[in-house]
């Protein structure tokens, strides 16, 4: 190797170590030493050197967390030894009985226990070989899980590699397995749900479901954005606990750089265990993640082995589950809140009741279906629960002699309580929504979406500026962006002459963007980037789109009844039509070029699988779509053709199983010609 390359290699490795150290400070210890900007700078520097020397890129470089994609779903992977679950106890007596049995079974007096938080996520095994992360496996059925390595690699508190001398110092062999809990912090969970709601996708019920959904995501770059976290609690070698004591295991994992929960205690009596349980319960409220109890484990491995297992759970460990945080109170009224996406949520106004350390006076009823399901009326007594989703919810109506039923039924308003716009409920959906794009409740999000990169691309019109503009009523709808003057901007905080001019320039140049961006920017429910493109190509002008009927809209590629109805409802609202008129007067491009898609493959659904030799999947997809066909990601009875390239896997099997016609690349080309 030439000396110059050796020099660069050394420099790269030093930079990687520096970045790994700061990742550890930030993601494992929650105690950063440098600012985010300084950290980003180090990453940029590393990326730059690596792009100049691609031969020096290694899989464990901090730049390589996101890379590749599982080709077709996840592959099954066996566990080194069964991943067990835990038996649960729900009160002091049950726990006391367990502790007594442990004593009786092994006949000893002096037993040490380790108490840990029971983290509410999903368990996951990580395999390291020669200090390098090689595999991440979900629990699955306990014996066989799924290989989710590419997603696991994106979690920044999981080390991609650990220096062998560090492992040695911690008493850990070079090849080993850790087990622990993957979880989504509450803040990340809320943010993700907000974004999903904005896009018209279903929201996850709690952080645990969100974690499972994210770990089993087929697109690792999405997993990377969702900020999962991982705490370890077991260290195995060849499927067996490596250390003699569990307490030692936790400390060794800590020393090796894994994230180990700091809230843990070594106890030697039942009273000490119980004190820990009682101490930790109120602290749940302030933790950044969800826990649902405490796990108590016998510390010594020899005693663990003596105690053994019952069915799927060890006798040497048990979970003490905290009670769901709930209370009983009366519903004084049912109000309607309008969210940032225009969704109307019925909210119960409650007689204030203390639950889990806070006073609760509001609880969500989600939607009309939920009110019907619960049979709730104003004046009822109800049970209210606070779960992982933080906003308390009504879980059931109480009815007994002390809790008489209420009589007043709730009706969803026909007009939005914030702006008076029309309220609609799309068929087959649970939610009611305000369709007025200018509704103040939606305004901030609407503006941010409109200005964002993939839409009108107005750089500088970010969170802070939009908040000021909407708070001061300088922008009341997206058209107002184009009426802003330098004086308006100059009057805002932290806005100098130059930055004001930059924003105005950005706004001006956004006027040149094509019709599909404006359609996408309007924030019509279910109309994403792709649909907007199809609509622009099909209708060629905003005017024609506005006049289209549901039937006409359904002629457009990928537009079904749900999207068609949403578009019609949007343009039925006079406020939205007025908005489009204003955008036209302000000089935005509301016409484009019509592009008639071919009809050769109209109505036919294709699934692409395996490696194609003549074009990339994206190219093949585009060709099919241009000919009027549709490309789907999964095989079902509705699939017309599966195009199988080399090494086609599970999708090909599925096609055969369902009797779907399988064709090769050549036949696909013939169909297109
Ligand atoms: S020990 C044999 N420790 O709870 C030991 N599990 O209900 C099995 N969990 O599947 C696991 N926090 O996903 C252990 N500190 C902790 C835990 C924990 C959460 C989860 C884990 C397990 C489930 C059993």
Same domain, 314 and 336: no
* Residues 446, 372 share a domain: no
The pLDDT value recorded for residue 396 is 93
Residues 277 and 139 both lie in one domain: yes
- Provide the domain count of the chain: 5
What tens digit of pLDDT does each residue of 576-592 get? Answer: 999 999 999 999 999 98
Confidence of residue 408 (pLDDT cuts 50, 70, 90): very high
**Is residue 575 located within the same domain as residue 628?**
no
Specify whether the CB–CB gap between 437 and 579 falls below 8 A: yes
Out of 79, 181, 208, 247, give the residue to mutate to test ligand 1, the one with the largest number of ligand atoms within 8 Å of its CB: 181
The confidence score (pLDDT) of residue 647 equals 78
- pLDDT value at residue 560: 86
Instruction: Tell me, yes or no, whether 301 lies in a domain.
Output: yes
C-alpha of residue 123 to centroid of ligand 1, in Å: 7
* pLDDT score of 323 more than 60: yes
Span 496-505, average pLDDT: 92
- The answer as to whether 74 is a domain residue is no
For residue 242, the model assigns a pLDDT of 95
Query: 16 lies in which domain range?
Result: 3-64
For residue 430, name the pLDDT band (cuts at 50, 70, 90): confident
Phi-psi bin for 547: left (phi > 0), alpha (psi -120 to 50), beta?
Answer: alpha
Q: What is the pLDDT of residue 474?
A: 94
What contacts 448, CB < 8 A, 6 or more positions away? 461, 462, 463, 466
Q: Ligand 1 atom 22: the closest Cα is on which residue?
A: 85
Q: What is the CA radius of gyration of the chain?
A: 29
Is the minimum distance from the CB of 84 to ligand 1 under 6 angstroms?
yes
Report the nearest-CA residue for atom 10 of ligand 1: 85
Residues 635 and 657 in one domain: yes
Model confidence over 31-65: pLDDT tens digits? 999 988 899 899 999 999 999 999 999 999 999 99
Indicate which residue's Cα is closest to atom 23 of ligand 1: 85
Of 167-181, 340-354, 616-630, which has the strongest mean pLDDT? 167-181
Does ligand 1 have an atom closer than 6 angstroms to the CB of 120?
Answer: no
Question: Domain boundary residue among 563, 595, 627?
Answer: 595
CA dihedral 113, 115, 118, 123 (to 10 degrees): -50
Catalytic residues: 118
470 CA → ligand 1 middle, Å: 47
Q: Which atom of ligand 1 is nearest to the CA of 116?
A: 15
Distance of CA 540 to CAs 187, 460, 574, Å? 42, 30, 22
Residues 421 and 465 in one domain: yes
Quick one: 296 and 421 in the same domain?
no
User: Distance from the CA of 85 to the center of ligand 1, in angstroms?
Assistant: 6
Which residue would you say has higher pLDDT here, 285 or 111?
Answer: 111
Rounded to 10 degrees, what is the CA torsion of 589, 595, 597, 598? 180
Higher pLDDT: 402 or 235? It is 235
Rounded to two decimals, the pTM is: 0.64
pLDDT of 596 > 90? The answer is no
Residues 569 and 636 in one domain: no
Q: What's the 305 CA to ligand 1 centre distance in angstroms? A: 18
Cβ–ligand 1 distance for 292 under 6 Å, the answer no
What is the average pLDDT score of the chain? 90
Q: What is the pLDDT of residue 621?
A: 83
């Amino acid at each position: 190797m030439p000396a110059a390359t050796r020099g660069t290699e050394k420099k790269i490795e030093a930079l990687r170590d520096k970045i790994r150290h700061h990742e550890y400070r930030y993601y494992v210890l929650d105690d950063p030493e440098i600012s985010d900007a300084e950290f980003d700078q180090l990453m940029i520097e590393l990326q730059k050197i690596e792009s100049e020397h691609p031969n020096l890129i290694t899989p464990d470089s901090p730049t390589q967390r996101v890379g590749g994609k599982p080709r077709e779903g996840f592959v099954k992977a066996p566990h080194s030894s069964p991943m067990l679950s835990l038996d649960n106890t729900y009160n002091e007596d049950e726990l006391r009985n367990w502790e007594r049995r442990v004593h009786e079974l092994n006949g000893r007096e002096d037993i040490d226990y380790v108490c840990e938080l029971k983290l509410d996520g999903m368990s996951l095994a990580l395999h390291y070989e020669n200090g390098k992360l090689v595999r991440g496996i979900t629990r699955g059925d306990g014996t066989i899980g799924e290989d989710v390595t590419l997603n696991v690699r994106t979690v920044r508190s999981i080390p991609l590699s650990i220096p062998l001398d560090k492992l040695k110092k911690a008493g850990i062999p070079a090849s080993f397995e850790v087990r622990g809990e993957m979880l989504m912090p509450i803040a990340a969970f809320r943010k993700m749900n907000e974004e999903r709601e904005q896009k018209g996708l279903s929201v996850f019920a709690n952080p645990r479901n969100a974690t499972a959904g994210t770990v089993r995501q087929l697109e690792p770059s999405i997993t990377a954005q969702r900020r999962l976290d991982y705490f370890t609690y077991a260290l195995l070698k060849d499927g067996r606990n490596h250390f003699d004591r569990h307490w030692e295991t936790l400390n060794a994992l800590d020393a090796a750089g894994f994230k180990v929960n700091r809230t843990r205690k070594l106890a030697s009596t039942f009273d000490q265990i119980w004190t820990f349980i009682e101490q930790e319960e109120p602290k749940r409220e302030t933790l950044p993640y969800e826990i649902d109890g405490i796990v108590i484990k016998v510390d010594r491995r020899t005693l663990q082995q003596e105690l053994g297992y019952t069915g799927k759970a060890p006798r040497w460990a048990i979970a003490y589950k905290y009670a769901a945080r709930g209370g009983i109170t009366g519903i004084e009224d049912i109000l309607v809140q309008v969210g940032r996406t225009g969704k109307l949520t019925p909210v119960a106004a409650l007689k204030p009741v203390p639950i889990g350390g806070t006073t609760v006076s509001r609880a969500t009823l989600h939607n009309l279906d939920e009110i019907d399901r619960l049979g709730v009326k104003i004046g009822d007594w109800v049970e209210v629960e606070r779960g992982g989703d933080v906003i308390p919810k009504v879980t059931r109506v109480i009815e007994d002699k002390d809790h008489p039923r209420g009589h007043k039924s709730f009706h969803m308003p026909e007009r939005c309580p914030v702006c008076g716009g029309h309220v609609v409920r799309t068929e087959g959906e649970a939610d009611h929504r305000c369709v007025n794009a200018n509704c103040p409740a939606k305004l901030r999000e609407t503006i941010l979406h409109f200005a964002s990169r993939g839409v009108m691309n107005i750089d500088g019109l970010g969170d802070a500026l939009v908040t000021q503009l909407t708070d001061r009523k300088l922008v009341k709808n997206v058209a107002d962006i184009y009426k802003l003057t330098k004086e308006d901007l100059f009057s805002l905080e932290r806005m100098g002459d130059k930055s004001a001019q930059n924003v105005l320039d950005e706004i001006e140049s956004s006027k040149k963007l094509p019709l599909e961006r404006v359609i996408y920017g309007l924030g019509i429910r279910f109309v994403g980037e792709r649909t907007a493109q199809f609509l622009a190509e099909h209708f060629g002008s905003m005017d024609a789109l506005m006049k289209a009927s549901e039937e006409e809209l359904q002629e457009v590629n990928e537009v079904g009844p749900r999207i068609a109805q949403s578009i019609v409802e949007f343009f039925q609202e006079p406020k939205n039509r007025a908005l489009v008129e204003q955008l036209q007067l302000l000089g935005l491009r509301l016409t484009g070029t019509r592009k008639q898609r071919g009809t050769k493959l109209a109505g036919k659904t294709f699934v692409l699988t395996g490696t194609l030799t003549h074009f990339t999947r994206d190219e093949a997809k585009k060709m099919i779509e241009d000919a009027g066909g549709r490309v789907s990601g999964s095989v079902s009875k509705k699939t017309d053709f599966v195009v199988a390239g080399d090494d086609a896997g599970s999708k090909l099997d599925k096609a055969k199983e369902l009797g779907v016609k399988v064709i090769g690349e050549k036949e696909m080309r013939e169909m297109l010609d």
